[in-house]
Amino acid sequence: MPIPPHGGGELVDLRVPQAERSTLLDFAKPLKKLALDARELTDLELLAIGGYSPLRGFMTEAQCKAVVDDMHLPGGVPWTVPVVLSADREFADSLSDGEEIALTDAEGNVRALLEVQDRYTADRRSEALKVYRTDEEAHPGVAALYSAREVRIGGPLQVLELPKGEFPEHRLEPAQTRAEFQKRGWRTVVAFQTRNPIHRAHEYLTKVALEMTDGLLIHPMVGETKSDDIPADVRMECYQALIDGYYPAERVVLSVLPASMRYAGPREAIFHSIMRRNYGCTHFIVGRDHAGVGDYYGTYDAQEIFEEFDPAALGIMPLKFEHTFFCKKVQGMASIKTTNSAPEDRVFLSGTKVREMLRNGQLPPEEFTRPEVAKILIEAEKSR
């Protein structure tokens, strides 16, 4: 029996039937139009396809306040990160409750209709402190919060057409991943969240998790990330090379997640697990400093936050891992739970050191990354 979507009930699908689209596009022509930014477009896609079930639109003030203050939606369903739509004050003031507006992409293409249920402003500093645990603009999530348009508009959506995203062959929707898992006979599925290439430590975590489950969903994010993160197309090439060379293909699905990073650390770990439940996963890997940035969060804060939620309400099991590394003493991957080796016997390279090696055309040690992955990264670094 497949795991039910988050919050119970049916998987949300906000897209109107094909036969109704032309009529609704005509209806949208005289409507007031609001262009979405890149993050709002990714949120629209996830709302439309059920990745954000049980949400049926951008959050109202009551929903947003409950999420920020209590990490639950009104009614008690766990939710930790606001999903909101912003507008300029002048545009928001021109609207009436119950009015329908057209949401467009940057080129003016109408993507959805929204029924205006709420218009509100948020205490951004308070929200930053609660969601991101800091109000410093140096934090990328806080910077995005502060730079958003002043007023928020909440209400239900009818989605007419989604933009064609990258990696269409790997852009499986929640209904599609669920169907694929069922076709393969998987009753338990573990998801691995990533915004980086998979190095030996990550490979080890996913394979330990595979020992406990029927299948693995490698689910990289391809929405907005930091400017210094490795581009999604390079990462996808790395994932495929690793799967081809080092995993049993029948036990792995590679699919992209069209979400944008918030860098909200512990809260985002819960957010990521909720999405993976909607994609049909029963387990979720939570490693060291999940969704972290800088020194804003403790090393294992993203694991500890799961203790604050009712496991039945969350509905997906976190698999919590210590920091792992190649251990020269035991000649294999290990963690502080499994080896008594000295620090000098543990192969660990900083991101800065790895990037320096790649720029110089040097292969990082095989204990750190597979050579096939390193070669892809070197070529990408050269082209940059």
Predicted pLDDT of residue 309: 98
Q: For the chain, what is the mean pLDDT?
A: 95
Q: For residue 360, what pLDDT is reported?
A: 86
Q: What is the pLDDT of residues 24-48, one digit of tens each?
A: 999 999 999 999 999 999 999 999 9
Residue 352: its pLDDT value, please?
Answer: 67
Cβ-Cβ contacts under 8 Å for 112 (sequence gap 6 or more): 14, 44, 48, 102, 103, 157, 158, 159, 160
Catalytic residue selected from 195, 200, 267, 276: 195
ω into 371 cis (within 30 of 0): no
196 is catalytic: yes
Do residues 288 and 321 make contact, with C-beta atoms less than 8 angstroms apart? yes
- For residue 372, name the pLDDT band (cuts at 50, 70, 90): very high
Strands 86-87, 189-194: pairing is: unpaired
pLDDT at residue number 351:
65
Q: Print burial letters for 180-204: b (CB count within 10 Å at least 16), e (below 16).
A: bbeeeebeebbbbbbbebbbbbbbb
Active site residue 195: yes
pLDDT at residue number 226: 66
What are the tens digits of pLDDT across the range 229-284? 788 999 999 999 999 999 999 999 999 999 999 999 999 999 999 999 999 999 99
* Residues 162, 171: Cα–Cα separation, whole Å: 13
- The reported pTM is 0.95
pLDDT at 348: 82
Distance, in Å, from the CA atom of 240 to the CA atom of 233, rounded to the nearest integer, reads 11
Q: Catalytic pick from 21, 109, 196, 288?
A: 196
Give the amino acid at 329: K
pLDDT (mean) for 279-298: 94
Residue 383 has a pLDDT of 79
